[in-house]
Amino acid sequence: MVKQEHIDFLNSYLPFLKKMASDDREEFFNKVVLKYYNAGEIISNNVTCSGMITVYEGQARAYIGSSTGKQISVYRLLEGDVCVLSASCVMKNLTFDVTIETEKDSQIIVLPSEAFDKFVKNNSPLKDYVLAIMSQRLSDALFLIEQTLFSSFDKRLAGFILEQASIEGANTVKITQDTIANHLGTAREVVTRMMNYFENEGYIELFRGGYKIINNVGLSSL
User: Under the rule (CB under 8 A), what is the footprint of a copy of itself?
Assistant: 64-68, 70, 72, 74, 85, 88, 91-98, 124, 127-128, 130-132, 134-139, 141-146, 148-153, 185, 187, 189-190, 193
Compare residues 1 and 145 and give the one whose CB is closer to a copy of itself.
145
Least spacing, CB of residue 96 vs a copy of itself, in Å? 6
Environment class of 101 (CB within 10 Å of its CB; exposed 0-12, middle 13-18, buried 19+)? buried
In one letter, which amino acid is 33?
V
Compare residues 30 and 151 and give the one whose CB is closer to a copy of itself.
151
Edge-to-edge strands of the sheet including 210-213?
A: 172-174, 210-213, 204-207
Compare residues 48 and 215 and give the one whose CB is closer to a copy of itself.
48
CA distance 76 to 81: 9
CA distance 9 to 90: 26
What are the C-alpha distances in Å from 200 to residues 31, 44, 74, 129? 32, 21, 11, 23
Least spacing, CB of residue 170 vs a copy of itself, in Å? 28
Residue 47's closest CA among 90, 89, 84?
A: 89
Compare residues 12 and 124 and give the one whose CB is closer to a copy of itself.
124
Least spacing, CB of residue 145 vs a copy of itself, in Å? 6
Least spacing, CB of residue 3 vs a copy of itself, in Å? 32
Least spacing, CB of residue 172 vs a copy of itself, in Å? 27
Compare residues 50 and 99 and give the one whose CB is closer to a copy of itself.
99
CA distance 184 to 156: 8
